[in-house]
A and B are shown apart, each in its own frame.
Chain A
Amino acid sequence: MEEIGLLMQGFAVALQPGNMLLMLVGVVLGVLIGVLPGLGGANGIAILLPLTFAMPPVSAVIMLSCIYWGALFGGAITSILFNIPGEPWSVATTFDGYPMAQQGRAGEALTAAFTSSFFGAFVAVVMITFVAPIVAGFALRFGPPEFFAVMFLSFACFVGMAKGSPLKTLAAMMLGFLLAAVGMDTVTGQLRMTFGSEEMIRGFDFLVAVIGLFGISEILCSIEEGLHFRGQKAKIDLKVVLRTWAELPRHWFLAIRSAVIGCWMGITPAGATPASFMSYGVARRMSKDPAGFGQGRIEGVVAPETAAHAAGTSALLPMLTLGVPGSPTAAVLLGGLIMWGLQPGPMLFVEQKEFVWGLVASMYLGNVAGLLVVLVAVPWFAAILRVPFPIIAALILTVCAIGAYTVSNAEFDIVLMLIFGIVGYVMKKLDYPLAPLVLALVLGDRTEEAFRQSLLVSNGDLGIFFHNWLSGGIMAAGLALLLWPALAWARGALAGGPRAQAA
């Protein structure tokens, strides 16, 4: 196999002491970036990119991609401990990770998150190593209708996820779509719903909303409940890692399914965020005990983390082979490639073999390094929960405010974050689910864009979504998932009569 030989050469490049050191520095920086909400992998890499200007391209990309892995790992930490997603793709991790932390199982949740992240990334790297050219060709088949179909499937997986009233879910989702529509409409080039305000031009950034809806509202709830974090009593030692590992192999099928979803979403390229939501939705749907999700089930951590990391890793494939970034972070890395004189795209694999395989090798090694770094740190992360609430709450608020500001360097976003915090608190009190709102906010404008692009191409004919087996098949799967709850309900109603209806 030619690939194996090339990969071994890549390992030789990546294993040089200098590059190993850069790898470690990158992972640690990445974890820090991932922990700080708002800073994000894309911003972090953009800030550090000029520093790598003097390095050889292989070393530079090894360090930057390790920052990327580190950020993927780090995003889970604050999600689990404080219900604040450090990165968009860790929102789904909060659903079960945070309840686990509240039950004193923070160490378990963190170990599960990191281990499944590693597994997801590993599957994706193996895929990149052996089937890159085939998979890259597949990505070319995705035009606007196919892209919309994938988004539709993400939403369909998610419907019926919330435990409360379906109407409340729908209302929350519509509010998310409404917020997503504010700002620039990329299809017509017009500003929408800005009401002449300069601050509204940016629209509502997903991260600002999430920091407020999840983080700030959680602090408000904690204050109401008596100024302490539940889960302080957690027993903390490194053995928790081993105990969790003993339990994880039971979820092997879940992990593989999530990794496949992740790889697929990373290549299409829809990215890590929809992958994590879709994987969580599917896991819940396929589970024997769907009601247990959201209460602290370990599967609810494994599914989104595996998928997010698999997607984050495989998102680099379309970047390298086609020059299309699968994520914002990949977009900045792409800019870096051009700056080092490398032209991303189909010729990269042919002309820059040393670079490509050095990068692939660093994906293997960077993930191993990342896993070791974060696992060793699990007890310390979990120990943060022991800090008295008044101190930690003030720190969290400060970090949230910095995070909200950093997203686009705007003071107004801090105000917005606080408003979203209150909105989140009220929604929690009234039993409106937050997840559908967040999903619609993060995917809303891209879904709308793909829908309108498709209709532009087809001259307004909705049939375009079924114009070939690919988009037609995905749409059909989405419709089936969407109608499943209604069908199940109808069957229950027919079989059980009024009693089932009342339930």
Chain B
Amino acid sequence: MTVATSRRSVLLGLAGAAVAGGAQARGWEPSRPVQFVVPAGTGGGADQMARVIQGIVSKHALMRQPMVVVNKAGGAGAEGFLEAKGARGNPHMLVITLSNLFTTPLATGVPFNWKDLTPVTMMALDEFVFWVNANSPWRSVQDLIAAAKQQRLKIGGTGSKQEDQIIAAAITKASGAQFTYVPFRGGGEVAVQLVGGHIDATVNNPIEAVTHWRSGALRPLCVFDAKRLADTGKMTETQAWSDIPTCREQGLDVDYLMLRGIFMPAGVKPEQVAFYEGLMAKVRETPEWKDLMQQGAFNTTSLTGEAFGAWLAREDERHRSLMQDAGFLANPA
């Protein structure tokens, strides 16, 4: 295991060096400040990640030109995506995406598709956990589903027809239990509504709810991933992230991960894409980035190039079918 890991990191290092060297050999580098578009508001998960990347790039002097974070949150991110779509061929623009890359065009009918952008790299995947209030009688997913079949329960989440509601709809599809979905503005607010007992369950990301778990106010039931979370450090007296069962283990066949990826506008040159690929590979090697990954219990899968493209095509199809099932499409086929 250790050998394999170290060999892989050597390979990664070589690949990174090769990419960086290649970029230098071809000589492309940003000649103007790089605009980093966040298709979400300030303070959210995508915004935080963009600002951490910006901080890392400037602290470690990874790029000569500065990086400027710009929030374009209008219309569930449609504003940011349309701006990037309109900036065809501009190598001084990056976009960080969340699941609204797929959901916003599907739910609103805004003329945009992920193929209007050039995929650069997947930075990480964000996990989702099924949470209930620690005072509730539900200790397992089965308890909750059984209760939901007796009496309609309320699931709170961020936004409407976005990832949280898609997961809620998938839970209904997999278990047959009906829920009322109540949309709120942000993940932190959702977690507090659950602590206050105003809703019955949430599908918060780990980083949004971890502090309430540790203070004993919330209870995690399962994680919406094919395998358990990697981090084995104790978060509460008795539990680590890795102690939370997967939903599949609990008999609820739902998994969902949210993309944290970097894109460029369409029509940019390969050496320009290679530059940013190399840059982001260096960002992922820094201790600050690793801290963020550990704090948020992120899934640190990273993909580039064709593998990333194939992943995106698959996810796009999956979102379309999930949203079709839930009746969330703006223009049903």
Q: A186 and B195: CB pair below 8 A?
A: no
Q: A201 and B74: CB pair below 8 A?
A: yes
Is residue A53 within 8 Å, beta carbon to beta carbon, of the partner chain?
yes
Q: CB within 8 A of B180: which of A324, A344, A457?
A: A457
Interface string of B62-89 (1 = CB under 8 A from A): 0000000111111110110010000000
Q: Which residues of B contact A335 (CB under 8 A)?
A: 42-43, 47-48, 51
Q: B211 and A343: CB pair below 8 A?
A: yes
Q: B59 and A343: CB pair below 8 A?
A: no
* Alpha-carbon gap, A345 to B212, bound state (A): 7
* Alpha-carbon gap, A345 to B48, bound state (A): 17
* Alpha-carbon gap, A49 to B71, bound state (A): 14
Q: Which residues of A contact B82 (CB under 8 A)?
A: 198, 201
Q: If the complex has contacts A46-B69, A325-B43, A453-B182, are A339 and B48 also in contact, measured as CB distance less than 8 A?
A: yes
Q: Which of A78-86, A139-147, A168-176 binds B?
A: A139-147
- Name, among A323, A331, A344, the residue most crowded by chain B CB atoms within 10 Å (CB to CB): A323
Interface string of A332-365 (1 = CB under 8 A from B): 1011001101011111100000000000000000
Q: A324 and B291: CB pair below 8 A?
A: no
Q: A191 and B75: CB pair below 8 A?
A: yes
Interface string of A111-143 (1 = CB under 8 A from B): 000000000000000000000000000011111
Q: How many A-B pairs fall under 8 Å by CB?
A: 156
What is the chain A residue whose CB lies nearest that of B184?
Answer: A453
Q: Which of B15-23, B186-194, B258-266, B275-283 binds A?
A: B186-194
Q: B188 and A325: CB pair below 8 A?
A: yes
Q: B192 and A190: CB pair below 8 A?
A: no
Q: Which residues of B contact A46 (CB under 8 A)?
A: 42, 51, 69, 71
Give the contact-size bracket for chain A: 35 or more
Is residue B198 within 8 Å, beta carbon to beta carbon, of the partner chain?
yes
Q: A344 and B211: CB pair below 8 A?
A: yes
Closest chain-B Cβ to A499's Cβ sits at a distance in Å of: 52
Closest chain-B Cβ to A187's Cβ sits at a distance in Å of: 6
Q: A54 and B59: CB pair below 8 A?
A: yes
Q: A343 and B210: CB pair below 8 A?
A: yes
Q: B160 and A187: CB pair below 8 A?
A: yes
What is the chain A residue whose CB lies nearest that of B82?
Answer: A198
Q: If the complex has contacts A339-B51, A339-B55, are A189 and B76 also in contact, measured as CB distance less than 8 A?
A: yes
Closest chain-B Cβ to A458's Cβ sits at a distance in Å of: 10
Q: If the complex has contacts A53-B59, A189-B159, A457-B180, are A202 and B51 also in contact, measured as CB distance less than 8 A?
A: no
* Alpha-carbon gap, A283 to B69, bound state (A): 42
Q: If the complex has contacts A345-B215, A347-B211, are A334 and B43 also in contact, measured as CB distance less than 8 A?
A: yes
Closest chain-A Cβ to B208's Cβ sits at a distance in Å of: 8
Q: Which residues of A contact B217 (CB under 8 A)?
A: 346
Contact residues of A between 292 and 333, Cβ < 8 Å to B: 318, 322-325, 328, 331-332
Is residue A396 within 8 Å, beta carbon to beta carbon, of the partner chain?
no
Is residue A184 within 8 Å, beta carbon to beta carbon, of the partner chain?
yes
Closest chain-A Cβ to B193's Cβ sits at a distance in Å of: 6
Q: A189 and B161: CB pair below 8 A?
A: yes
Q: Which residues of A contact B288 (CB under 8 A)?
A: 53
Q: B42 and A42: CB pair below 8 A?
A: yes
Contact residues of B between 58 and 117, Cβ < 8 Å to A: 58-59, 69-76, 78-79, 82, 107-108, 110
A/B interface sample: 15 pairs, CB < 8 A: A54-B59, A183-B75, A190-B330, A201-B82, A323-B188, A332-B42, A334-B188, A338-B48, A344-B211, A346-B214, A347-B215, A408-B79, A409-B70, A453-B182, A457-B198
Q: What 8 additional pairs, Cβ within 8 angstroms, besides A325-B188, A335-B48, A345-B214?
A: A43-B42, A189-B107, A194-B75, A323-B208, A332-B42, A335-B51, A339-B52, A343-B210
